[in-house]
Amino acid sequence: MNTPQNPWLQAAQQFQQSALQQWGQMLQAHPSAATPQPAFAPFAAPGGVDLNAMLSKVVGQPVQVEPTRLLQIQSDYLKDLAQLWNQGLQVKPPQDKRFAAPAWSSNPLSAYAAAVYQLNARTLVALADAVQADAKTRARIQFAVLQWIEASAPSNFLAFNAEAQQKALETKGESLAQGIKNLLHDLEQGHVSMTDESAFEVGKNVATTEGQVVFENELFQLIQYKPLTDKVHQRPFLLVPPCINKFYILDLQPDNSLVRYAVEQGMTTFVVSWCNPDASLAHKTWDDYIEDALIKAIEVVREITRAEQINALGFCVGGTMLGTALAVLAARGEKPVASATFLTAFLDFSDTGVLDVFIDENSVRLREQQFANGGLMPGRDLATTFSFLRPTDLVWNYVVGNYLKGETPPPFDLLYWNSDSTNLPGPFYAWYLRHTYLQNQLCQPGALSVCGQPVDLGRIDIPVYIYGSREDHIVPIAGAYASTRHLPGPKRFVMGASGHIAGVINPARKGKRSHWVGSTEQFPPQLDGWLASATERPGSWWTDWADWLKGHAGALVAAPKGYGSRKYKAIEPAPGRYVKVKA
């Protein structure tokens, strides 16, 4: 079902679509026929979109730019443009990985297009920064302008991409022919290929840790993994991945599987494998997922292992859901979880970074109207949104490689997982948008009622391990740290290098990147205060976390010899059926 969208988002999408149409038309153009296009002319927008009209559409009212700054921007632009013009055919392409190939330097037209593009981009960013508006409006303008800038890069157009032209000549047109094949293939599958998807199969070379499905209902399957040690800790361990993605980000391949690593540490390990919703689940709500998935999974793990308490981990949205479930259980006077780990997860949504530009009252109300009687939020729409948070790396890089150069991207398990999207029940999604991103009520004691209970994170009085990634654009590091303000029990906060996924999936044995640890007694209100006294350590945060988890996992006992229990018998081998269902 299509619904109206915010003007700023429509503008950003128009830029993307316009640029896609342009490079699609240029795909069959001969390099010798190339002439400068409006996309690279001074102050011109892709497809002839007027800049002032675009910014006004983004804001929803006439745009006002501070006059003094506007004059300075115009002056700087004209001066830099004159310098480029005076260089003539001696212009060199800017220092940018998109223009780094020698072919860009040896082709004057392409070099000039790249240099003018960089000047235009710099000027547009300055104009967006100069708009007189509140912080959120300015952030939306900056986001829309970023989409425009990235879509307009001359590297995205065969008429200007000297590297793609050179390859076409060297291969006698074979690269262009292959590019068209790649384009038709991606149109058929419905998304741009980021990796050679034919190289992977779930259960064959990803999601391969040995185990059995020991419980299932309409929302999830529960997988129990085979022990890899003779003895295990008494207290079992449950991993809750985000339902917006499939669980095997935590179990890609043996050498980068967090699931396998937990099993190797002597944990009796379980994971929630979410159902990929279809129309039969289009009415499911946040309450349904908390009661019938999170709380049910905790109950089943306890029953199978006969443990009074378990340890649990929630990743991303899975962490938000875990925190909600623990608050509901606490309100009921129950404490079945002894310790919790929150990986790049929001409990406090006061700092959501760039995602904040997507959320306002109108956009949330539209979703609520759309899903008032049920429905599905398509996984592909969500995946596209996340990709355009990093458009150069996750969109245009593959457009250029796949279609202009006729290349097949190399096999990469993480990107295969990234392309394997999942749907969400519409009512679940609309509730999530309003009460977390828009109103930030989860961290306000008593502001929400979930499963008939008032939610108060302050009642989750258990040890917690909170991890955030320094360069995360989905859960900014300050947003992850904010959880320390609301959880009253013993805390350990750790910051890892890199982003939302690469920071988390950082195998201990590879010794890559760094992580930072700090005091477990003092947690200043803001992240900067914690960083001031934090200590950097080389290598993955996994080892630090494993040592912490073992401290809450109880004594070592003989490993179980089978799966499940009399009540919960093994159903099928891991990774199960649910994870294989395509959106």
Place of tokens 């190339």: 34
Residue 512: HSE in the Cβ half-sphere, 13 Å Cα cutoff: 10
Omega of the bond prior to 575 within 30 degrees of 0, cis?
yes
Q: Report which of 506, 495, 500 is spatially closest to residue 532, judged by C-alpha positions.
A: 495
> Which amino acid would we find at residue 156?
N
Q: Report which of 469, 467, 475, 512 is spatially closest to residue 494, judged by C-alpha positions.
A: 467
pLDDT of residue 58: 61
Q: Are 132 and 66 in contact (CB under 8 A)?
A: yes
pLDDT digit string (tens) for the chain, length 583 residues: 344 344 434 443 444 444 444 433 433 333 333 333 333 333 333 334 455 566 666 656 666 777 888 889 889 988 998 988 888 778 888 999 999 999 999 998 899 999 999 999 998 899 888 888 888 888 888 888 888 899 999 999 998 999 999 999 999 999 999 999 999 999 888 888 999 999 999 999 999 999 999 999 999 999 999 999 999 999 999 999 999 999 999 999 999 999 999 999 999 999 999 999 999 999 999 999 999 999 999 999 999 999 999 999 999 999 999 999 999 999 999 999 999 999 999 999 999 998 888 899 999 999 999 999 999 999 888 888 888 888 888 889 999 999 999 999 999 999 999 999 999 999 999 999 999 999 999 999 999 999 999 999 999 999 999 999 999 999 999 999 999 999 999 999 999 999 999 999 999 988 889 999 999 889 999 999 999 999 999 999 999 999 999 999 999 999 999 999 999 999 999 999 999 999 8
pLDDT of residue 34: 33
146/12 Cα distance (integer angstroms): 9
Beta-carbon contacts of residue 174 (< 8 Å; ≥ 6 apart) = 406
Place of tokens 């912490």: 548
Omega of the bond prior to 38 within 30 degrees of 0, cis?
no
Q: Are 562 and 513 in contact (CB under 8 A)?
A: no
Place of tokens 């679940």: 428
Helices (H), 332-476: 361-370, 379-387, 391, 397-399, 413-419, 426-432
pLDDT of residue 2: 40
DSSP string of 306-361? Answer: T-S-EEEEEETHHHHHHHHHHHHHHHTT---EEEEEEES--S--S--GGGGGG--H
291/325 Cα distance (integer angstroms): 8
Burial of 73 (0-12, 13-18, 19+ CB in 10 A): buried
Residue 21: HSE in the Cβ half-sphere, 13 Å Cα cutoff: 10
Q: Report which of 332, 337, 321 is spatially closest to residue 461, judged by C-alpha positions.
A: 337
pLDDT of residue 46: 39
Q: What's 102-165 look like in SS3?
A: HHHHHCHHHHHHHHHHHHHHHHHHHHHHHECCCHHHHHHHHHHHHHHHHHCCHHHCCCCCHHHH
pLDDT of residue 39: 35
* Pair of tokens at residue 168: 């076409």
Helix axes 135-151, 51-59, angle to 10 degrees: 140
User: What number of other Cβ atoms are within 10 A of residue 550's Cβ?
Assistant: 16
252/245 Cα distance (integer angstroms): 13
Q: Report which of 223, 235, 241, 297 is spatially closest to residue 266, judged by C-alpha positions.
A: 235
Catalytic residues: 316
Q: Is 25 helix (H, G, I), strand (E, B) or coil?
A: helix
Q: Report which of 516, 511, 545, 543 is spatially closest to residue 531, judged by C-alpha positions.
A: 516
Beta-carbon contacts of residue 27 (< 8 Å; ≥ 6 apart) = 158, 176, 179, 180, 183, 403, 404
114/107 Cα distance (integer angstroms): 11
Burial of 116 (0-12, 13-18, 19+ CB in 10 A): buried
Beta-carbon contacts of residue 153 (< 8 Å; ≥ 6 apart) = 98, 117, 392, 396
Helix axes 108-130, 51-59, angle to 10 degrees: 40
Q: Report which of 511, 457, 438, 501 is spatially closest to residue 475, judged by C-alpha positions.
A: 501
* Pair of tokens at residue 6: 């915010």
pLDDT of residue 511: 86
The reported pTM is 0.88
pLDDT of residue 324: 98
pLDDT of residue 581: 95
Q: Are 315 and 239 in contact (CB under 8 A)?
A: yes
Tell me how far CA of residue 431 lies from CA of 368, 436, 449, in angstroms. 8, 8, 12
Q: Are 391 and 354 in contact (CB under 8 A)?
A: no
Place of tokens 């690279």: 40
239/427 Cα distance (integer angstroms): 24
167/152 Cα distance (integer angstroms): 21
* Pair of tokens at residue 386: 């996340």
